[in-house]
């Protein structure tokens, strides 16, 4: 009787080992087929604000390119990062401004940004509309320009400010504003820049475009 029990136990043990081997093989193969999905946190919730394929500059209309640059400029002009140790070190804003405009920002808006940053506040800006002051039909003939002309724009924007950056229950304070800018823009890449060397130096690609803000005001160009 004991021999029969031992024989049956041996068979049951072999079956258990066989099942374990199969399960181990299945888990190993499942790991081989697994993949890690990377998610990037972004401020925008719209589908057109998500990371996607790189756009060809030739597929972007002249006005769309100009408006993208203006939106980026306004975002850099007003954004507040909690605990930012170098508020006035903003390469993008500097690259898109002449020296007078950047100095004006440093002595005005940057001071408020520094105070908000020290209080661990977070702010982002979103452009809602862009109006061309000296060309209401927005039909500027950029191709006919020998060099970029000065054009005036009225930009409407909203700011979203979180008074406590680490509390997800805090709702942002939404404010609306209007800013007037004078800017020079001509579609294409700046001819005085070696694109390859520029990108290899880890500089932001936005500095490659022929766009520069030359004057700025809260309600109008003064």
Across 114-123, 133-142, 185-194, which has the greatest mean pLDDT?
114-123
Any domain includes 12 = no
How far apart CA 15 and CA 67 sit, in angstroms, is: 69
- Quote the tokens at residue 165: 């950056």
Q: What is the H or E stretch that residue 100 is in?
A: helix 99-107
| 3, part of any domain | no
Residue whose pair of structure tokens reads 């049956």 in the numeric block = 8
Number of domains in the chain: 1
Q: Please indicate, yes or no, if residue 1 is contained in any of the structural domains.
A: no
Domain membership of residue 104 (yes or no) is yes
- Number of Cβ within 10 Å of residue 76's Cβ equals 20
Query: What band does 174 get if pLDDT is binned at 50, 70 and 90?
Result: very high
Would the pTM count as exceeding 0.85? no
What pLDDT score was predicted for residue 193? Answer: 84
- Rounded distance between C-alpha atoms, residue 129 and residue 141, angstroms: 21
Task: Give the count of beta carbons closer than 10 Å to the beta carbon of residue 151.
Answer: 17
pLDDT band at 82 (very low <50, low <70, confident <90, very high): very high
**Residue 222 — very low, low, confident or very high, per pLDDT cuts 50/70/90?**
very low
Find tokens 């320009």 and name the residue. 145
- Where does the pLDDT of residue 103 fall: very low under 50, low under 70, confident under 90, or very high at 90 and above? very high
Rounded CA separation 214/181 (Å): 8
Q: Where are the beta strands (DSSP E) in 62-133?
A: 122-132
**List of residues 6+ apart from 123 with CB closer than 8 A:** 78, 79, 80, 113, 116, 159, 160, 161, 162
115 assigned to some structural domain:
yes
Residue 165 lies in a domain: yes
Decide if 134 is inside a domain: yes
Average pLDDT over residues 63-85: 93
At 17, give phi and psi (nearest 5°): -65, -40
Output the domain CATH number for residue 202: 3.10.450.230
The residue-averaged pLDDT of 203-211 equals 84
In degrees, rounded to 5, the angle at the alpha carbon of residue 197 between the alpha carbons of residues 192 and 201 is 120
Domain containing 197 equals: 61-217
Q: How far apart are CA 72 and CA 53, in angstroms?
A: 19
């Amino acid at each position: 009787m004991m021999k029969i029990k031992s024989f049956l136990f041996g068979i049951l043990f072999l079956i258990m080992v066989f099942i374990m081997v199969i399960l181990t093989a299945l888990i190993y193969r499942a790991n081989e087929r697994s993949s890690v999905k990377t998610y990037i946190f972004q401020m925008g919730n719209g589908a057109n604000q998500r990371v996607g394929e790189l756009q060809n500059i030739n597929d972007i209309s002249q006005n769309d390119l100009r408006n993208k640059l203006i939106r980026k400029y306004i975002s850099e002009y007003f954004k507040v990062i909690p605990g930012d140790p170098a508020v006035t070190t903003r390469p993008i804003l500097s690259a898109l401004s002449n020296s007078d405009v950047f100095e004006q920002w440093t002595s005005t808006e940057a001071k408020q940004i520094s105070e908000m940053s020290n209080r661990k506040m977070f702010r982002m800006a979103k452009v809602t509309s862009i109006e061309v002051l000296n060309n209401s039909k927005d039909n500027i003939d950029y191709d006919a320009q020998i060099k970029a002309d000065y054009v005036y724009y009225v930009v409407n924007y909203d700011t979203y400010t979180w008074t406590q950056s680490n509390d997800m229950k805090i709702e942002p304070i939404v404010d609306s504003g209007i800013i007037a800018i004078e800017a020079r823009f001509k579609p294409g890449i700046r001819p005085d820049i070696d694109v390859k060397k520029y990108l290899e130096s880890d500089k932001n690609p936005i500095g490659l475009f022929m766009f520069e803000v030359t004057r700025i005001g809260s309600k109008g160009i003064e």
